[in-house]
Structure 1
Amino acid sequence: MTTRILLVDDQELLRMGFRMVLEAQDDFAVVGEASNGAEGVALAKALQPDVILMDVRMPELDGVQATQALVSAGCRARIIILTTFDLDEYAHAALRAGASGFLLKDAQPTDLLSAIRAVASGDAVVAPSTTRRLLATIAHQLPAAEPLDLAASTLTPREREVLLAVARGLSNAEIADALVLSEATVKTHVGRILAKLELRDRVQIVIYAYDHGLVPARG
């Protein structure tokens, strides 16, 4: 099965480099390129790619705004944010808006390919522990915790335990060990949490936990 990819970056040379790396893979096809967020949103709606590589800082419409627009429009493409800085507050904003993760622009080609394959299969590119570190670093910029919504009240005690464990950056294997469950059961719980809270992936669980004050922003 071929993964259809849209490149959105204002640097033509960078897009060219990404295209060369991606099109050398039998399971990838670059279906379009855009030089700013506005073009990216329009092309994403027209081409319906599986994965979008989105620069975070662009003219006209930046990657955060473009991600917000696409998620609000119901776009099913997984979005990977490209950033120059490991702990970029723009990357955090993009994750909150619905991106499935972020990568540094100088990432190794193998890391880029692995990331695209991961999000195409429904996983998050960024480990929850990385998201937690990002959130803790910019904690002073985060808004006050929001009250828990009605969806949270539908979580079972076990699902809430799993949610908190994911928010702390634990993997399924680590959660299974801590809660004395099988990995398959943990995966089932994570799936139910995502469905009940209407979240896209594990990264969104971490952000939800921080937004609602379920985990401390520091420590």
Structure 2
Amino acid sequence: MSQIRSVCVYCGSSGNVADTYKQAAHELGTQIGQAGLRLVYGGGRVGLMGITADATLAAGGEVVGIIPEHIQALEVDHTGLTELHVVDSMHIRKAMMVERSDAFVILPGGIGTLDEAFEIITWRQLQLHDKPIIIANVDGFWQPLIDLLNHMQATGFMRKPNIPGAERALYTIVDRVEDILPAIMRQPDPSVGDNIRRL
């Protein structure tokens, strides 16, 4: 895919997690920076969010953070980014992250990450965008979610993971960090206009 310039990473803000998840965040950030891509993320300096941002910057990449005022007030914003946008609400934050990104990666995280993951997958299924979505199943972290998605498909509550009318995956699952960027680059060019600004 020739149009990938910015990669949005959704991930946890907790630092009280296993080293394997921290290492995955560091490796992904390093790979994004080394590839000359821009990281777009939630603007925090803590947890996997901060690790990913710091690694991208250290590898020479640009990092755009988007953070709501009420979270910035907790003094968790990253002040060393290429760009930091402070916005009024979570809704604006999420819309801006989508507007500024060409692909999405879902690293391990908590309910906030899960919220972002379901929203971006839903928007793609509704054909509001056609940007690649990668679920990084690091150390099997997302396996319960993957099992649930498969169950929803098997019971008829969710379509099979293909964009309607096209042979393309709604999302792609990888188990290794080194497979994330290659999986993004293998995706077909978008066939759906980006209508996120209308939401």
Q: Which TM-score applies when normalising by structure 2?
A: 0.44
Q: Which has the higher helix share?
A: 1
Higher Rg: 1
Q: Which is bigger in relative contact order (C-alpha 8 A, separation at least 6)? A: 2
Q: Which TM-score applies when normalising by structure 1?
A: 0.40
